[in-house]
Amino acid sequence: MQTRFLYGLAALALAASAAAQPAAPALRVVTLAECVTMALERNLDIQIRRLQPAIDLYNQSAARGFYDLTFNLNASQRYISSPGSPDPASRLFNVSSETYIESYGPSFTQQLGTGGRLTINADLVRRSGNQFNSFTYSSDAGITLTQPLLRNLWIDSTRQTILLSRHTLRIDELALRNQVMTTVTSVQQAYYELVFARDNVRVQEASLELAEKLLADNKRRVEVGALAPLDEKQSESQVAARRSDLLSARRDLEVQMNNLKNLLGDDFTSLAGVVFEPADKLLALPQTLNAQESWRQGMALRPELLQAREQVERQNIVLRFNYNQLFPSLDLTLTYGHNGIGQTLSTGLNGVQRGDNQFYSYGIVLSFPLNNTTAKNNYKASKAQKELLLLQFKQLEQGIIVEIDNAVKQAQAAYERIDATRQARLYAEAALDAEQKKLENGKSTSFFVLQLQRDLTAARSAEIRALADYNRTLSTLSRSEGTTLDKANIGLEFK
C-alpha cells in the first residue's frame, strides 16, 4: 500500500514537472514573398502613413465646403419712439409717435468659383405700424451679385487652398509609396540577414563538430603516447572557443529573427513564441547592371524626386496668388428686384409677384493700400522660396544619381566577391584535409590543424556573408532606382 502511495506521488511530481516546462516554440517556415505580404498588411509604419492621404481628402472636401449653398432666415422686430417737438410757426407741439416694424424672410448665399458672391434675399413679410394701430405691409425680393475684377479674380485664398490641397494629397500618396518601398526593402534585407544567421549557425555547428572530433582523436593519441598532452589542451581550448562562437551565432539568429518580426506586424507578442525558418536560399543570380538605365529609372520613379516636383508646383500656386494680391481691389456690384406695398399682407405679396415696383443698382468699389507693403513682400518671398525649392530639387536629383552609381558599383563588387569567397572556401577545405592527413601520419601538429579549422570556418562564413551582401545590394539598388515594387510585383493604386 505504501509502495502504491509513493508511486502516486512520483507520478504527480512528474506531471507537475512536465506542466512547468515551457512550451516548445512553434516552427513556421516562411518565404520572402510571404514576409512581404505580411508587412504590407500589418506593418505599423505603413499603417500610419496610409492614414495621411485619407486625412488630406477630408481636408480637401472641407475646403470645397466654402462653396456650399448657405440658407439664412431673418426675423427681426424694431421699435422707434419719437417725442413731440415745438413747431416754430404755430408754436404748438407736434404729436409724439411710436413705430413698430416687423420683418421676416429667407435668403440664400452662393460663393462663386470666380471669386464672386451671389445672394438671393426676400423680405416676405414686413409690417410697420404706430400707436394708432395703423399697419402697412410691404414685401421685396431681389438678387445681388458681387464680382471682383482684379484682385481675387483668377485666384483667391479659397481656390488657393483647394489647389494646394490637391498637391498635398499627391505628395502624401508619394510618401506612402516611399514608405512601402522602404518597408519592402527592409523586409528583404532582414530576411537575407536571417538566412545568413541561420546558415552561420550551421557553419559554427560544423566548426564545433570538427573541433570535438579533433579533441577525441587527440585524447586517443595522448593515451597511446603518440601525442603530447599539450596538444590535447590546445584542442580543449579550441572546443571551448568554438562553443562560444556557436552561442554568439545563435544569439545573432534570435536578434535577426526579432528584427524581421518587428517589420511584419503590429503585435510582436503574437509572434514572440514562433520560430521563423526561412524557406528561400541565398542565391547568386547574375544581373545586368547598367548605370545609365538605372539613372533613367531613378529620375522617373523615385518618390522623393516626384515629391520635390510637387512641392515646386505647390509653390507656383502660392506665387500666382501672391502676384494677384499686388493688384488693387476692384469689385462690381449688381442688384435687381421687385417690391410691393399694401394695407394687407396679400396686397404686399401680389406687388412683388406682378413686378409693379422694380428696383436695381450697379456700381464698382475700388480699394488699394497706398504702399501695398504686405503684398509686395509676400510676392518677393514666394519667388525666393521657389528658387530655393528648385535648388533643393537639383541637389536631390544629383544625390540620387550618386546613390544609384554607388549601388551599381557595390552590386558588381559583391557579385565578384562571391566567386572569390567560394574559391577561398574550397582552398581552405583542401588545406585542412591535407593537414589532417599529415597529422595522422605524424608529420604535423594539432596547432596547424586547429589553425586551418579556424580558417575554414572563417571562409565558410565569408562565403555566405558574400551571398547575403550581394542580395542586399540588389535590394538596395532597386530601392535607389525606385523599382522595388515593380520587381516585387506589388501594385499600389490610389483612389
Each residue of 105-142: pLDDT tens digit? 888 999 999 999 999 987 766 666 655 556 676 777 88
User: For the residues 327-333, what does the mean pLDDT come to?
Assistant: 94
Domain-embedded: residue 494: no
Instruction: Tell me which residue of 46, 182, 49, 43 sits closest to 476, measured CA to CA.
Output: 182
**Based on the domain organization, do 269 and 361 belong to the same domain?**
no
Query: What is the spatial distance between Cα 466 and Cα 460, in angstroms, rounded to a whole number?
Result: 10
Between residues 489 and 103, which one has the greater pLDDT?
A: 489
Domain co-membership, 287 together with 421: yes
Distances (CA, A) of 38 to 46, 369, 486: 11, 61, 18
My answer on whether 267 and 221 are in the same domain is yes
pLDDT recorded at residue 203: 95
What pLDDT sits at residue 190? 96
> Quick one: which H or E segment has residue 28?
strand 26-30
Q: How far is CA 277 from CA 196, 258, 336, 349, in A?
A: 12, 13, 81, 86
Predicted pLDDT at 304: 95
Cα–Cα distance measured from residue 367 to residue 258, given in angstroms and rounded to the nearest whole number: 67
| pLDDT score, position 352 | 66
Looking at the fold, whether 165 and 147 belong to one and the same domain comes out as no
And the C-alpha cell for 8? Answer: 502516486
Say yes or no to pLDDT of 447 above 90.
no
Kindly tell me if the per-residue pLDDT of 74 is higher than 50: yes
Q: Judge if 269 and 302 occupy the same domain.
A: yes
- What is the predicted pLDDT for the residue at 126? 63
Cα separation, 287 vs 47, whole angstroms: 33
* Neighbouring C-alpha atoms within 13 Å toward the C-beta of 24: 4
For residue 179, the enclosing domain spans: 26-60+160-318+378-487
Question: Are both 287 and 346 inside the same structural domain?
Answer: no
Q: Would you state the pLDDT for residue 88?
A: 60
Q: How far apart, in whole angstroms, are the C-alpha atoms of residue 301 and residue 295?
A: 10
Give the CATH number, domain containing residue 305: 1.20.1600.10
The residues near 253 (Cβ < 8 Å, ≥ 6 apart) are 194, 197, 198, 200, 201
Q: Judge whether 236 lies within some domain.
A: yes
Q: Which residues are CB-neighbours of 380 under 8 A, at least 6 positions away?
A: none
Q: Is residue 418 part of a domain?
A: yes
Residue 102, all three cell numbers:
416687423
End-to-end CA distance of the chain: 79
Q: Is 422 exposed, middle or buried (0-12, 13-18, 19+ CB in 10 A)?
A: middle
pLDDT score, position 358: 84
Q: How far is Cα 114 from Cα 158, in angstroms, rounded to an integer?
A: 11
- Evaluate if residue 97 carries a pLDDT over 70: no
- 387 and 475 belong to one structural domain: yes
Rounded to an integer, the average pLDDT of 86-97 is 58
| One domain, residues 104 and 165 | no
State the pLDDT at residue 18: 45
Residue whose entry in the numeric block shows the C-alpha cell 581552405: 428
Q: Is the pLDDT of residue 5 over 50?
A: no
Which of these ranges, 21-25, 49-53, 66-70, 427-431, has the smallest mean pLDDT? 21-25
**Residues 257-270: what's their mean pLDDT?**
91
0.75 surpassed by pTM: yes
* Mean local confidence (pLDDT), 235-244: 90
Q: Is the pLDDT of residue 102 over 90?
A: no
Cell of 280: 528561400
Q: Is 147 found in the same domain as 184?
A: no
- Confidence class of residue 7 from pLDDT cuts 50, 70 and 90? very low
Give the tens place of pLDDT for each residue, 384-412.
999 999 999 999 999 999 999 999 999 99
Residue carrying C-alpha cell 417725442? 83
Same domain? 432 vs 479? yes
Residue 11 lies in a domain: no
Mean pLDDT for 151-172 is 94
Average of pLDDT values for 175-192? 96
Residue 66 within any structural domain of the chain: no
Give me the amino acid identity at 466: A
Residue 485 is predicted with a pLDDT of 93
Whole-number percent of the chain with pLDDT over 70: 86
Q: Does some domain include residue 372?
A: no
Contacts of residue 166, defined as CB under 8 A and 6 or more positions apart, other chains included, come to 60
Are 343 and 440 found together in one domain? Answer: no
Output the nine-digit C-alpha cell for 326.
499686388
Look at residues 308, 341, 367 and tell me which one is the last residue of a structural domain: 367
Identify whether residues 301 and 168 lie together within a single domain. yes
pLDDT for residue 24 = 61
> Average pLDDT, stretch 286-297?
92
Whether 9 maps to a domain, the answer reads no
In tens, the pLDDT along 334-353 reads 999 888 776 666 666 666 67
pLDDT computed for residue 441 by the predictor: 81
Looking at the 3D structure of the chain, how many domains does it have?
A: 2
Q: Which three cell numbers stand for residue 240?
A: 571551448
Task: Read off the pLDDT of residues 186-222 as tens digits, 9 standing for 90 and up.
Answer: 999 999 999 999 999 999 999 999 989 888 887 887 7
pLDDT of residue 364: 93
- Average pLDDT over the chain reads 86
Does 8 fall in a domain? no
Average the pLDDT over each of 46-55, 86-95, 363-372, 427-436 and give the range with the smallest value. 86-95
